Amino acid sequence: EDKVVQSPLSLVVHEGDTVTLNCSYEVTNFRSLLWYKQEKKAPTFLFMLTSSGIEKKSGRLSSILDKKELFSILNITATQTGDSAIYLCAATSGTYKYIFGTGTRLKVLA
Amino acid sequence: KAGVTQTPRYLIKTRGQQVTLSCSPISGHRSVSWYQQTPGQGLQFLFEYFSETQRNKGNFPGRFSGRQFSNSRSEMNVSTLELGDSALYLCASSPQTGGVMNTEAFFGQGTRLTVV
């Protein structure tokens, strides 16, 4: 059965710290890996990765995919309290669905 | 462009009742997916529709059903509600062109369902 596993489940850091969130997947006919940020209700899209080894960046956030080892990481540098959220990772396959992990709850303390 | 709209935002129902949730996708998006989110379980896939056809269904009992209309709006229905159905129900639309899921999904604010 297809699955996506995220670690750690939760994380508490101080402003200015750098964090690395992990996402591993076992998905048949893997197509892409997506990252979302969920602050209250609606997850908002961060990155979509399809190629191995190519880093995607947006401000202080960056992500990379390793299709050989079947994982992705999301890095957040110089964290701010506004980064506090649940970060969700999802994989797509040829089965018309997004397969989500349980998420990493990040709390950034001032 | 308006985002994904879900109604109602909050709902309280009694065990045994049924409920219908609505989702209006972003204009032009033909793929609509539904997810159930509970603490510790992440987003659990319910079903996906494209051009009024259900292309995939998750591992939920038959009490959970859905449909999509010709304007891409979608509804999901839960019959004979149980306490365990209390959750945030999220709808997502994506600009799929008919093939595999090769774009990001855009989520609505969700419907918070509480079963008492």
Contact: A41, B104; criterion CB under 8 Å: no
Average pLDDT over residues B90-99: 82
CB nearest to B42's CB, from A41, A44, A100 = A100
Average pLDDT over residues A38-54: 92
Q: Is B84 helix (H, G, I), strand (E, B) or coil?
A: helix
Distance set, CA B37 to CA A41, A102, B87, B99, B104 (Å): 10, 9, 6, 26, 18
What single-letter DSSP state applies at residue B26? P
Q: Is the pLDDT of residue A15 over 80?
A: yes
Torsion angle, alpha carbons of A81, A82, A83, A87, to 10: 130
User: How do A10-14 and A104-109 pair as beta strands?
Assistant: parallel
* Residue B17 C-alpha, separation from nearest chain A C-alpha, in angstroms: 25
Q: Which tokens is B53 given?
A: 């056809």
Q: Does B60 touch chain A (CB under 8 A)?
A: no
Average pLDDT over residues B68-89: 96
Q: Is the pLDDT of residue B97 over 80?
A: no
Q: What is residue A29's predicted lDDT score, i.e. its pLDDT?
A: 87
* Residue B55 C-alpha, separation from nearest chain A C-alpha, in angstroms: 7
Q: Does A86 touch chain B (CB under 8 A)?
A: no
pLDDT in tens, B8-28: 999 999 999 999 999 999 999
Mean predicted lDDT score pLDDT of chain A:
94
Residues of chain A with pLDDT > 70: what percent? Answer: 100
* Residue A74 C-alpha, separation from nearest chain B C-alpha, in angstroms: 17
Average pLDDT over residues B25-36: 94
Rounded Cα distance between B91 and B107, Å, is 6
Model confidence band, residue B99 (pLDDT cutoffs 50, 70, 90): low
Residues in B touching A34 (Cβ below 8 Å): 104-105
- Burial per residue of A26-41, b for 16 or more beta-carbon CB atoms within 10 angstroms, e otherwise: ebeebbbbbbbbbeeb
CB nearest to B102's CB, from A32, A36, A43 = A32
Q: Which of A66, A30, A47, A101 is nearest to B101 (CA)?
A: A30
Contact: B100, A41; criterion CB under 8 Å: no
Q: Which tokens is B82 given?
A: 């149980």
Q: What is residue A54's predicted lDDT score, i.e. its pLDDT?
A: 92
Q: Is the pLDDT of residue A1 over 90?
A: no
Q: Is the pLDDT of residue A89 over 70?
A: yes
Model confidence band, residue A41 (pLDDT cutoffs 50, 70, 90): confident
Partners of B102 in the β-ladder: none
Cβ atoms of A103 and A6 closer than 8 Å: yes
Contact: A103, B35; criterion CB under 8 Å: no
Q: Does B21 touch chain A (CB under 8 A)?
A: no
Q: What is the DSSP string of A67-92?
A: TTTTEEEEEE-S--GGG-EEEEEEEE
pLDDT in tens, B37-53: 998 788 999 999 999 99
DSSP run (H or E) holding A58: strand A56-58
* Residue A18 C-alpha, separation from nearest chain B C-alpha, in angstroms: 24
Q: Is the pLDDT of residue B59 over 70?
A: yes
**Integer-rounded Cα radius of gyration of chain B:** 13
Partners of A10 in the β-ladder: A105
